Amino acid sequence: EHVKSFAAVDLGASSGRVMVGRVGPESLELTEAHRFPNRPVRVPEGLRWDILSLYAGVLDGLRAAGQVDSVGIDSWAVDYGLLDADGALLGNPVHYRDARTEGVAEKVWATVPAAELYAATGLQYAPFNTLYQLTAARSTAQLAAAERLLLVPDLLAYWLTGEAGTEITNASTTQLIDPRTRDWSHDLADRLGIDLTLFAPLRQPGDPAGLLLPRVLEETGLRGPVPVTTVGSHDTASAVAAVPAAGQRFAYICTGTWSLAGLELERPVLTEASRAANFTNELGLDGTVRYLRNIMGLWLLQECVREWGQPDLGALLRAAAEVPALRSVVDAGDATFLAPGRMPDRITDACRESGQPVPESRAEITRCILDSLALAHRRAIREAEALADHPVDVVHIVGGGTRNELLCQLTADACGLPVVAGPAEAAALGNVLVQARAHGLVGDRTSMRRLLARTQPLRRYEPRGDAAAWRAAQDRLTRG
Ligand code: ADP
Ligand code: LRH
């Protein structure tokens, strides 16, 4: 059997990894070559990504991966680095949780009303959309000096190859792309004074993205030529590509730092009702639309665990499973949870303010978070089904959250639907499969999904009764 190897660089908000996928016509095997923490740094001017440390992790990972047929890169969305006229990076990329975008949206809406923005781009309102970040950066010395803007995965690809491009699925998260034409919205950019010539030409998943530079080969011990292949460089686009679903009647939840819950559609939903419900139309593979809602996700738990000095997660989750269900819930979609810090207090404050019992122990706070996430999953999927007129009969959970059995079971209970959990490394697998397809090893999206379902360990959770309790909890939140 003809087998090829692909390195998938996948940078999440909590960790980066370089995975190696070995793909044949009937086989798909993924192994971890290297994993490294992603620790943002607060400096006087704000919260920044430590991009050089991440790039060092990528090089270490490629060395550990050994000889591969191609490399693909994906990461979290919306953030970017700026280059000067010599092609040198101007400062550390600003973290999407940085406070610089506070109050910026209102200024943008004074020029282009929110309804018009949605009709033009289909993107949800989130303070960190690149459009708002660029508006916040207006009249900074750094932006004035910039000749080029590269989204994070494109920046790493540029360092590896010397070639600059803008990958389309991630570009769709800038809020400067029209999801119908899948091209820049020049009119919008003009009205907002955003210079689109900063962006390198658009690239599509599957496009060649250059060859590893001689210096990179030397540092990683790889033998050239090694091509870099464009993948769905938005991690969520790669993760959705690796949802092991059959047919169309499925919803997905990509769980990690965020929960991204929604549907794969052929066309964007740009209605006013969709805007009011804050659903986004991000671009996926092969002309698809990722119609989804951002939910705060396991960030809520990560931040508590950080505050508590990193206790054992397994023990904490076992204790949380023993806590009575649905005593108190918070709105896990609420942007008030976006910034880092004081998370246990912020959760208990929200419970107190909404007149619910205040969780006291770590186990109780953890249970409150997981119940709240499951509830937010339920709400997002139900609303997406209605807004897109696209009913589903199964929910696929992919990403790191699939390792949290309690969260998977609670999500099945809350949604009243079976949950199929796995793969955990969906973004890396989607990254690998798009490279494999570009190298002629797999066919269309359906056959990619079939290969995943045949080769990846999946676990099924059936919904356990008590629909009324979830409905009541939802009512409590909506009223509160
Ligand atoms: P990201 O890509 O956003 O960095 P991941 O997909 O790697 O996130 O998921 C990280 C999350 O997965 C962690 O915050 C944690 O809550 C969860 N997780 C990882 N490993 C385990 C585990 N062994 N048990 C339970 N949860 C886990
Ligand atoms: C998840 C993710 C998500 C974006 C957020 C900024 O890693 O890419 O899809 O909304 O990060």
- Ligand 1 centroid–CA 315 distance in Å is 15
- Atom of ligand 1 lying closest to residue 314 CA: 24
Told to judge if 393 belongs to the known catalytic residues of this protein, a careful annotator would answer: no
Q: Which residues pair with 459 in a beta bridge?
A: 421
pLDDT given at position 465: 79
Ligand 2 nearest-atom number relative to CA 77: 8
Tell me which of 79, 98, 235, 371 is the catalytic residue.
Answer: 235
Q: Please work out whether the CB of residue 298 comes within 6 Å of at least one atom of ligand 2.
A: no
Q: Is the CB of 256 under 6 A from ligand 1?
A: yes
Buried b (16+ CB within 10 A) or exposed e, 270-287: beeebbebbbbbbbbbee
* Number of the ligand 1 atom closest to the C-alpha atom of 235: 2
Place of tokens 């207090």: 345
What is the per-residue pLDDT for 138? 95
Query: Can you list the residues of the chain whose pLDDT is less than 70?
Result: 1, 480
Q: 281 CA to middle of ligand 2, Å? A: 13
Burial class (CB in 10 A: 0-12, 13-18, 19+), 349: middle
> Do the beta carbons of residue 399 and residue 426 sit within 8 Å?
yes
Q: Is 238 touching ligand 1 by the criterion CB < 6 Å? A: no
Q: CA–CA separation, 379 vs 253, rounded Å?
A: 12
Q: Is 297 in the pocket of ligand 2 (CB under 6 A)?
A: no
What pLDDT was estimated at residue 34?
A: 98
Pairing mode, strands 394-398 and 250-255: parallel
In this structure, which residue's CA is closest to atom 8 in ligand 2? 76
pLDDT for position 364: 98
User: Ligand 1 centroid to 142 CA: how many Å?
Assistant: 35
Q: Could you read off the pLDDT of 441-478 as tens digits, one per residue?
A: 999 999 999 999 999 999 999 999 788 999 999 998 88
C-alpha angle 418-420-426 in degrees, rounded to nearest 5: 150
**Predicted local confidence at residue 480, as pLDDT:** 57
User: How many angstroms separate the alpha carbon of residue 429 from the centre of ligand 2?
Assistant: 17
How many whole angstroms from 11 Cα to the centroid of ligand 1? 13
